[in-house]
Amino acid sequence: MDYRTFEVQDFLADENFTQWVLQPDAEHDDFWTNWLAAHPDRKDVADQARLLIENIDFTETWSAGERHDMWKYIQTGTSRSAVLPAGKMQRWLRISYAAVFALLVFAGGWFYLTSRPVRFQTPYGKQQLVTLDDGSRIMLNANSELTVRRDFGKEAKREVWIRGEAFFDVAKLMKQEKKIPFIVHTDQLDIHVLGTAFNITNRRGRVDVALEHGSVKLVDASNASNSMLLKPGEKATQTATEAPLKKEVVDVKEYSSWRQKVYQYKGKKLQELAEMIGDSYGIEVIIENEALKEETFTGSFPTDSVETFFEKLGKLYPLEIEKKGNKYYLR
């Protein structure tokens, strides 16, 4: 889930967030503490949602007089602290929060439904083609998520968020004789494009962008001076541990062949293939021989048959392949 795009109403509707606020445990507390530390720009929004959740108590009852005072407070914004005792004031404020939340649900429900982002998700081993309103086509690889604002294309720029792997074929868009930029956000990079086709992988703290045609500008999300322009046939890499962007000339088909339902590799390390298989199929590949991790694979296999990869691997190397449940052991 990409919480970077969440607004107050999204956090209120998210089960993991509400459970953390109302029934915190070690797992949820560790996740949200680390997430908020890593995304300080979203702290105010999350704090607003948390305050609402903490102060809402729909089981509490109040008198007709309190209801009248509460409603007057909401309408006028006039403080009642001068006429209510401190203890009763706290209870009365909680009632106000509950009432405001109810108003948001009933009076603002339509706004919530029409403003929250649209998310496209693919399960393990599946792909999905998404066509946006501007004509841009995005092919999602397995175990990936694309987030798009509902007002996409209506503002001065087009923005989407990607987790996993996808191939973008971005359409050019003009408004009042001005080109409308298209920006793809990842964990570490922002990719600025106009009319471009490229493959992007955003997994395991690493972002790879391989450009098929057109041009893109890559900008480090946390350091704008760390930027780079890509030409067709080039690939850029950004990792969480190595800040400077790295560029190299590649065969882009090797990075985007999955669109034709086939994985095609040339000299790919087995350790990297093991990680890709885990990301795409939810299968754990355990290489017990350290030297084997550095061996390479050249060949192809269909995206709907990972077993073909292991069959080919067994013919290329004198190794033992054992399958136990959802795990493959290479010895």
Which CATH architecture fits 118-255? Sandwich (2.60)
Handedness of CA 148, 36, 218, 162 (dihedral sign): negative
Architecture of the domain delimited by 261-330 = 3-Layer(bab) Sandwich (3.55)
Residue 19 near residue 68, CB atoms below 8 Å: no
Q: What is the pLDDT along the chain (331 residues), one digit of tens a residue?
A: 678 888 887 888 788 888 888 888 888 888 888 888 888 878 888 888 887 777 655 455 555 565 555 555 545 544 444 444 555 445 545 545 555 554 454 444 444 444 568 889 999 999 999 999 899 999 999 999 999 988 887 778 899 999 999 999 999 888 888 888 999 999 889 999 867 899 999 999 899 999 999 999 999 988 888 999 999 999 999 988 877 899 999 999 999 999 999 999 999 999 999 999 999 999 999 999 898 999 999 999 999 888 999 998 888 888 889 999 889 999 8
Phi and psi based region of residue 12 (left: phi greater than 0; alpha: psi -120 to 50; beta: remaining): alpha
Contact 153, 190 (CB under 8 A): no
The residues spanned by each domain of the chain are 8-67, 88-116, 118-255, 261-330
Give the Cβ contact number of residue 167 at 10 Å: 22
Task: Please give the full DSSP string across 22-44, using - where no structure is assigned.
Answer: HS--HHHHHHHHHHHHH-GGGHH
Q: Record the pTM.
A: 0.66
Asked if residues 313 and 297 have their Cβ atoms less than 8 Å apart, the reply is yes
